[in-house]
Homo-oligomer: A and B are copies of this chain.
Amino acid sequence: MVTIDDIKAAADRIRDVAVRTPLLPAGWADPDRPLWIKPESLQAIGAFKVRGAFNALARLDEPVRARGVVTYSSGNHAQAVAFAAAAFGVPAHVVMPEETPDIKIEATRGYGAEVVICGPGQREIVAAQVVKRTGGVLVPPFDHPDVIAGQGTIGLEIAHDLPDVENVLVPVSGGGLAAGVGTAIKALCPNARVYGVEPELAADTVEGLRLGHRVDWSIEDRNRTIADGLRSQPSDLTFAHLQQVLDGMITVTEDEIRDAVRQLAYQARLVAEPSGATPLAAYLKQATPPGRTVVVISGGNIEPPMLREILAG
């Protein structure tokens, strides 16, 4: 299991490449539930994923890293690995499912990575083929301790900036973010509650945690949600962390997600992608006890037509 020391070590490694995002006080929120926003959408790649990817690459031995890296991702982790590989000057191959928004494919190519498009549910298989062909190292999007530790640096920063935080809300997809943030918060702010947030239409982790074991939802079911970054499912490793560090799960509807994207733009002056807005959606429906609350806005990579459509809603 990832420890707070792993997360502190990751923080030292990523210091020069990750933006130290501030906690933004949201004066427009319910005074009984004072709200702060952690805007990971402001990372250079538009999402928190740079933290885990860079930490994972930094941990590789130099001759191993020089062979190049391979990953699969519906988007933000792809850009993160491409960005980190460029920072280290090593090649990157990124397998992306065909339903990935164009903006994320183009951004990944923009960092110099080679993109391999695959069919739905095929990305892990195709990535394994690319590893075999290129001799590169697989940097998975969440199923790795170094990735979890990197994402956990967000929790470290929250604990530093708001030591008396009472609720922390994070989106759950593959679970790396929630595992890392939860580990950091539980270690440093033991009285704080940590909640995972999922769309109703991709709520496999809600069901899994209730049953005490991972469950599989079909990729067709998970693809129904507008939150394209939340269509993955935890691995054994991340699920074990979630069982240990989460105080609960909250589901949000598609309309609630859209409303949260609007509120972030109009009230917080932030462009968020639907996945990134889910913690605010959970906050707005008052699904947690009152108290000082931090929502982690995980990313802001939304295609302009979708942003315009949601803002018009």
Contacts and interface: CB of A to CB of B under 8 A. Distances in A.
Interface string A13-26: 00000011110111
Given A46-B269, A300-B269, A311-B308, A21 B19 contact: no
A211 interface: no
Contacts of A271: 265-266, 269-271
Nearest to A107: B28
Specify how many copies of this chain sit in the oligomer: 2
Nearest to A27: B44
A107 to B, nearest CB: 9
Nearest to A111: B27
A42 B22 CA distance: 9
A273 to B, nearest CB: 9
Contacts of A149: none
Contacts of A140: none
Contacts of A311: 304, 307-308, 311
B39 A25 contact: no
A20 to B, nearest CB: 6
Nearest to A311: B308
Contacts of A42: 22, 24, 39, 268-270
A73 interface: no
Contacts of A288: none
A272 interface: yes
Contacts of A110: 28
Interface residues of A, number: 31
Contacts of A83: 27
A87 to B, nearest CB: 11
A41 B265 CA distance: 11
Contacts of A46: 269
Contact of A22 (B22, B301, B304): B22
Contacts of A39: 42
Nearest to A276: B269
Contact of A44 (B19, B25, B272, B301): B25
A22 B24 contact: no
Contacts of A312: 308
Interface string A243-277: 00000000000000000000001101111100000
Contacts of A25: 19, 44
Given A27-B44, A44-B27, A271-B270, A265 B22 contact: no
Contacts of A28: 110
A39 B268 CA distance: 12
Interface string A32-54: 00000001011011100000000
Interface of A: 19-22, 24-28, 39, 41-42, 44-46, 83, 110, 265-266, 268-272, 300-301, 304, 307-308, 311-312
Closest 3 CB pairs of A and B: A269-B300, A269-B271, A41-B269
